[in-house]
Structure formats: structure tokens, C-alpha cells
Amino acid sequence: MIEIKNIVKQYNGVPVINNLNLTVNDGEFVVLIGPSGCGKTTTLKMINRLIEADSGDILINGKSIHELNGEKLRRNIGYVIQQIGLFPNMTVEENICVVPKLLKWSKEEMSQRTHELLELVHMPYEENAKKYPNELSGGQQQRIGVLRALAAKPPVILMDEPFGALDPITRDTLQDEVKALQKSLGITIIFVTHDMDEAIKMGDRIIFMDKGVIQQDAAPEEMLRHPANEIVRNFMGKHSAAYRSQGEDMTCESLMKKRVYTTTENRKTLECIEMMSHREVDSLVITDESHHFKGVVTIDMLKSEGVAGESVGKVMRTDYPTVHLQDEAHKAFDWLTKTNLPYVLVVDNENVVKGIITKTSMSKALASVVWGDQG
Amino acid sequence: MSINVIVDHLSVVVAAICLTLVFGLPCGILAYFNKTFKVVIFKITDVLQTIPSLALLGIIMIFLGGNKLTVVVGLFLYSLLPVVRNTYTGLSGIDPAVKEAAKGMGMGKLYQLIHVELPIAFPVIFTGIRIAVINQISAAVFGTFVGGGGLGTVIYRGMANMNMKLILFGTVSLMIMAVFFDTLMGFIEKRLYARTR
Amino acid sequence: MMEWANRYGADLIQAIITHLYYVLIPVALGFVIAVILGVLLSRVPKISGYILPVLSVFQTIPGIVFVGILFLYVGMVPATVLIALTIYAVFPILKNTYVGLLNVDEKVKEAARGCGMSPLQILIKIELPLAMPNIFVGLRLSTIYTVSWAVLAAMIGLGGLGDFIYRGVGTNNNMLILTGAIPAAILALSLGALVDWIQKRLTPRGLGGKRG
């Protein structure tokens, strides 16, 4: 557990951290976020004493970080920075082993650890250990940067915008890898970023800072749905706006498409295929005569399971997700993103089909929110 | 006498730097266009700069005799490297997009060189010239040993007569000269770089 | 040719040895002094901002002046030449060491600090190896300059290859000039090549130098 207690830091009389208090539990992935100059990086660097606080204290597992000297402390805390900072004069293996070497591990231990770690990120030892950093791609370099931090098995790792300099695809992969490593190894990570997407994706908890003060400390969903104040809301821009509109302003009814191709369950399969091709759609909604929802049938289902002359009622999928007219729009969005279905159905109290919400309606809704907010 | 000797010293440097430019710039440009030539000229200029100045002057003296011409030629050969190298570096450091744009507008090779590449490379080339000038001011003291005159003569005479005043006069004038030109050209250089950004 | 060898052979070998002695000792001493000073200066970049330009100005003083002034105070002994050339050898290495250390990427130093290295460990394991290419540029310059300035030892009658050149120039004896000048040129070129070779051997592949 890391406890940050009443930390104050000033530069030339200008306060950058104002009486900050924060507790991070073991195994937690905590993201510090905020506009530049908000004090997030300063806070991070005070934990491994690259920056010393003016007053207050930081405890790791109940012991003040000032009980050890800064160097010994840092050997037990992993550290990853945005510019990677691999040592260009050392091979991949030497880079990974910097801290183990400082801790005087034996050669065998270090070599074994290097094998293990490279395995973790799918960079075979034989191919990579003897390379120099300038022989690796940016993404590989930062993988090694992360491994270097993990090498001596520190319980805590500090990351300062570690993926900021990578291209979006590599960044995405590394985010997944790091998140997976953190979960499987059960380590605590404190992660600084200014990218809300990244914060939402990575964090168990997001700490929003501005002007050296914590503005909000919440789980990602909570922060999106209920930004604590205007500063947080503004910073999150599209995220919070979209989420808020989804959550509170927008109902499924307001953005559904009303035109739905329906048919009844006693239609024959071949008729349905013809209807689909005629209307250029690849699925039909099945209802009874009074339009109560029964199920959905797609062209694929008909092709794979349909028997000629049979009624579609036997093939259709009845567990298809539906939402209510008055449901919040985000419920529909959640279904769409979770299930990868082309649309969800909107029904009224009597289970009568009223419309559908597709991915297109979702992006239109988001766009209107974003533009609306700006305009 | 004092002014004369400084003028004397400077005139040798000026003559040498002119010679350096007349040969160095075309060599740098050729190196930019031709890789083989680049390797050869870089090697030659590097060797010329490595040879001890006095040895170089001595060898030239055999052909040209003990006079100012020997000193001028010696200084010219000695400081060819920075001019050639910087001309080449300046030209090859130009953003390929700019060259492509020039080509795309239908410029000929020579036109492009004169109107686009050389102007862009000029600040870097100027840095080379500055280095050459400072080197030459300092190395010109050797001129005295091969009959070239200049501040070297003053210093040398001071030593021969154990005259501290003469030594100091020579040294201090030399330092002032070097610093003056370095500062002046450094200032121009900064303006040049600022303009191209 | 035989005549030349008979006439100058023994003297020449002696002169080359003397010359080498005037080069290697000052460069070795200068190297140690310069690296130490460079490291110290790099710890206080604010002060160094003022010191380095002053050093650059001093570097414009021709070696001849050092030799001359020291000659007046110390007299006609080899120490005069050695001290003067040592002082002179310090400048290029000092400047390049300082610049090399200063150019070590801040992010790399931060990463090293973040790994828990002490300042001394950072210096030895990270900063000096990374500054090595610069330090070698300085060493090469110093070596070549020193070969050149050591020619001046002859000016105060202390031998070396300059001896031949002086005598040759004085007596208009071309053979004598070449006997001094050509070995001096070869000496400078070979020592320069030697430094390049050592640098190639010592620069890790990761710094862009080619190895093996």
C-alpha cells in the first residue's frame, strides 16, 4: 500500500502540489490524469524521490520512503518514462539487468530472469537479448523499457506517459500487454497520462488532478458518468459529454430508426430469403400478427440451418437483445459494443417492436453530442 | 609597425581564405554529386589537416620558396577540410521534400543548385568558413619560419630576445583577432540560421 | 638513398623517438587532466557556461607562445616542452569531454536515476560510455595538434623532428626539410589512425560505431 500524506511542493514559490493525499492499494492500477502542469508527473516522481516534497510524507507498506536512501528506494520501484530512456551503450539483456545487477543478483539469476521476461512479451531471447536499443523498433524498445522496470520484481511500478511517443496501433498493443501483465503479476502500477482513452482503458481508478489538487478520484465509469466538476468535465470533452448524454439525456426512443423490416414466424424460409434480397437487408425481425417481438433471423442462419419449406419460427434467434423505448441510450450502446451485433431492437411496454438502433445511429448520436457541445 | 604587422598577418589569411573558397566550395559541391569523389576528397583534406603545419609549410617551401605565397598555399591546404565538409553536409542535409518540390517545378540541376540548394545550405557552409578562418589566423604564426612575416615574426623575435613585451603583444593581438572574427562571424552565423528557420 | 640513410639514419631514429616522447607524455597527461576537469565542469554546467568560452579563447593561443613563455621562465629543458604541450593537449579533450557529457540525453540519465543508480554509477556506466565518441574526437585532435606543436621543440633546441625542418629551412637544404617533414606527417597520420582504431574497438555497437 502506498500512502501519500499531506504532500506540498513549490517551485520558486509557486505551489505545484497542494496538500495532496492519496492511498493506493496493492495490486491496483491507478491512473493520474490532468492537463499539463497539473502536478501529476511531479506526484509520480515524488514517490521514487526523483523529486523531493517540501513537506508531508509518503509511506510504502507503512514505511516512510525517507527511511531508505533514494537510490536504494528506486531499486525497489520500477520506473518507465515516455522517452523510454534505454541505455544505448548496453544490449537488451544488459538494459533489463541494470537493477538486478545493482542488487547484486547472480549471473544465473539474471540470465534466467531475462529469458523469463523476454518470453512474457514474446521476444525470443536468442533473437533479441544481444541487440542494442537502436536495432529495435519503437514498440520493442518500450517493451524492453517495461521489462527493465519489471526485472527486479518490484511490487510497485511507476509509469510516466510510457506510450505517449508510440504510434496508435503499437500503443494499443502495449496497453493490452501491460494491463495483462499487471493483472497476472498482481503488481501495483501508478500511471501518468494526459490521454483519457488510455486512462479509461488502463485504470482501475482514475485520479484527476488540476493545479496540484485532486479534483476527482473515481473508477473510470463513475468519472465518465458523473464528472465531479466543470474542470473534469471540460477535460474529458467528448468522453464525458457522450457518456452524460447517453446516460441522462438520451433515450433509446430518441435515436432509434423507426423503419424495421418485420415478418411473421409462420413465413417459410425461402420467402424470407427472397424478402431480404428484395429489400437489400441481411436480417428480418420476426413478430406475431400484433407486432409483438418474437425473434430475429439472419441470412446466415437461414443458409446454415434453414430447411426449405420450413417456417422461420424454427430457425430464428429468440434471445436477441432488446431495449425499452425509455431506456438510456447507453444501454443500447453497451449491447452493440459488447456483442458485435449489427443492431439492437427497441420495444415498448407490451414488447411491441418500435424500432432498431444500429452502430450508425450510435455514431450519429455521438457526433451530435460532440459537435453540439462545441457549437 | 604594430598595425603593419597585423595587416600583414590578416592579408595572408584573407588571401588564403579566398583560395580555400575558390577550391573548397566546388569540391564540396562535387562531393555532393559524386560519391567516389566525396570519399577521395574527404580523405585528402583530412590528411592535409593532419600533417603538422610546419611540416606542410616546409614541403611547400621546397616548391615555392620562402615567401608569402608558401604561407598562403599552406594555410589554404590546411583549412580545406572544414569548407569542403560543411559544403557537403549542408547540401546533403536539405529536406528531400524541398528538393523534390524544386524538381517537380521543372528546375534544372544547376538552376536548382544555385537557387535552392546552395541558399538553403549556406548557413552550414558559413560555419565551415568560420572554422577555416579561425584556424588560419592561428596557424599563420608558422609563416614566420618560411619567410612569411605576420604576428609569428613578432612572437618569435620576442623569444629570441627574451622580450616578454613583444611576446605578449604578438599573442594578445592574435587572441583579439581570433576572438573578434569568431564573435563577428558567429553573430552572422546566428542570423543566417535564424533566417532559414 | 643509401647516402641519405647513412647521413641521417641514426639522427632520424633518435628524433622520432624524441618526438614520440614529446607527443605521448603530454597527450597521456593531458587526457587524464582533461577528463577529470571535464567531469567536474559537467557537474556545474552553470559555471561552465562561463569557463568554456574562456578556454576556447586560450585555445587560440598558438602553442609557440606556451613554449616561448615557459622557455623564458623554466629554461631550455625538456620539461618546458612537456608542460607546454600538456597544457595544449588538455583543451580539445576537455572541451569535447564536457560537450559529450552534457549531450547525454536527459531521459537516459533520468532512467538511470529511476533504476536506483548512484551519481557515480551513472557517470561510470552511462555518461562516460555515451560521451566516449566525443572524448575520442578530442583525443584525436589533441594527438594531431601535439605532433604538430612538438615540432616547435626544435625552436628552443630540444630536438625532435622539427630539428631537421629548422635546419633545412635555415640552410635551404630541401633534403633536410623533407627528412623532418615527411616522418612528422607520417607520425601524425599514424597516430590519428591509431586513435581511430582504438575508438572503433571501444565504441559499443549500440552507439552507431561498427565493431568487428
pLDDT above 50: residue C91: yes
Inter-chain CB proximity C60 and B174 less than 8 Å: yes
**Cα dihedral A19/A23/A24/A25 (nearest 10):** 170
Specify whether the CB–CB gap between A4 and A197 falls below 8 A: no
Q: Do domains A2-244 and A253-371 have the same CATH topology?
A: no
Span C3-34, pLDDT tens digits: 776 777 778 888 899 899 999 999 999 999 99
CA dist B149 and B154 (Å) reads 8
The pLDDT value recorded for residue C208 is 58
Q: Could you state, in order of their start, the residue ranges of all structural domains in chain B?
A: 1-196
The pLDDT value recorded for residue A249 is 59
Topology of the domain comprising B1-196: MetI-like fold (1.10.3720)
C59: phi then psi, degrees, rounded to nearest 5: -65, -20
Which set of grid coordinates corresponds to residue C130?
555515451
* pTM score of the predicted model: 0.71
Any chains having at least 3 CB pairs less than 8 A from chain A are C
Q: What is the mean pLDDT of chain C?
A: 85
pLDDT above 50: residue A143: yes
Q: How far is B111 from chain C (nearest CA, A)?
A: 36
The pLDDT value recorded for residue A296 is 87
Confidence band for C209, pLDDT divided at 50, 70 and 90:
very low
Q: Could you state, in order of their start, the residue ranges of all structural domains in chain A?
A: 2-244, 253-371
Q: Which of A22-31, A237-246, B54-63, C145-154 has the highest mean pLDDT?
A: A22-31
The CATH number assigned to the domain with range A253-371 reads: 3.10.580.10
Helical spans, DSSP H, in chain B: 2-33, 35-50, 53-64, 68-78, 80-92, 96-104, 109-112, 118-139, 151-160, 164-196
Q: Provide the β-strand partners of residue A33.
A: A193, A208
The pLDDT value recorded for residue C211 is 33
Chain C positions touching A84 (Cβ under 8 A) are 107, 111
How many residues are given for chain C?
A: 212
Domains of chain C, start order: 9-202 (1.10.3720.10)
In the block, residue with C-alpha cell 523476454: A118
Q: Provide the β-strand partners of residue A218.
A: A206
Scanning A114-173 for CB atoms below 8 A from C yields 132-135, 145, 148, 158
pLDDT above 70: residue C129: yes
pLDDT above 90: residue C170: no
In the block, residue with C-alpha cell 443492431: A343
Interface test with C, best of A71, A90, A146, A156 (most C CBs within 10 A): A71
Which set of grid coordinates corresponds to residue A13?
514559490
Amino acid at A119: E
ipTM of the complex: 0.78
Interface test with B, best of C169, C182, C196 (most B CBs within 10 A): C169
Inter-chain CB proximity A88 and C115 less than 8 Å: no
Q: What percent of chain B has pLDDT over 90?
A: 35
Which set of grid coordinates corresponds to residue C178?
623533407
Q: What is the mean pLDDT of chain B?
A: 87
Smallest CA-to-CA distance from C151 within C141, C160, C139 is with C160
Inter-chain CB proximity C60 and B178 less than 8 Å: yes
- Closest chain B residue to C154, measured at CA: B54
- Closest chain C residue to A86, measured at CA: C108
pLDDT above 90: residue A300: no
Interface test with C, best of A48, A49, A98 (most C CBs within 10 A): A98
Pairing of the two strands A205-210 and A213-218: antiparallel
CA dist A252 and A326 (Å) reads 6
| H/E run at residue C125 | none
Inter-chain CB proximity C130 and A88 less than 8 Å: yes
How many residues are given for chain B?
A: 197
A101-105, B94-98, C65-69: segment of lowest average pLDDT: C65-69
Taking each helix axis from N to C end, the angle separating A107-120 and A138-150, rounded to the nearest 10 degrees, works out to 130
Inter-chain CB proximity B155 and C144 less than 8 Å: no
Taking each helix axis from N to C end, the angle separating B164-196 and C63-74, rounded to the nearest 10 degrees, works out to 150
Confidence band for C118, pLDDT divided at 50, 70 and 90:
very high
Could you tell me if B93 lies within 8 Å of chain C, comparing CB atoms? no
pLDDT above 50: residue A374: no
Chain A positions touching C204 (Cβ under 8 A) are 88-90, 132
Span A224-246, pLDDT tens digits: 888 888 888 888 775 655 555 44
Cα C169 from chain centre: 27
The pLDDT value recorded for residue B5 is 85
CA dist A231 and B92 (Å) reads 49
Specify whether the CB–CB gap between C146 and C83 falls below 8 A: no
SS (H, E, C) A255-314: HCECCCCEEECCCEHHHHHHHHHHHCCCEEEEECCCCEEEEEEEHHHHHHHCCCCCEHHH
Which set of grid coordinates corresponds to residue A31?
491512473
Chain C positions touching A88 (Cβ under 8 A) are 108, 130, 204, 206-207
Which set of grid coordinates corresponds to residue A189?
502500477
Specify whether the CB–CB gap between C133 and C203 falls below 8 A: yes
Residues of C with CB under 8 A from a CB of A: 105, 107-108, 110-118, 121, 125-126, 129-130, 204-208
Name every residue whose Cβ is closer than 8 Å to that of residue A66 and which is 6 or more positions away in sequence.
A49, A57
Cα C165 from chain centre: 22
Q: How far is B100 from chain C (nearest CA, A)?
A: 29
DSSP A35: S
- Tally of CA atoms within 13 A in the half-sphere of A197 that contains its CB: 8
Amino acid at A72: K
Name every residue whose Cβ is closer than 8 Å to that of residue C192 and which is 6 or more positions away in sequence.
B50, C140, C143, C144
The pLDDT value recorded for residue C212 is 29
The CATH number assigned to the domain with range A2-244 reads: 3.40.50.300
Q: Which of A112-121, A246-255, B172-181 has the highest mean pLDDT?
A: A112-121
Ranges of chain B whose pLDDT falls below 70: 1, 195-197
| H/E run at residue B161 | none
A135-139, B65-69, C40-44: segment of lowest average pLDDT: B65-69
Q: How far is C118 from chain A (nearest CA, A)?
A: 6
Inter-chain CB proximity C165 and B55 less than 8 Å: yes
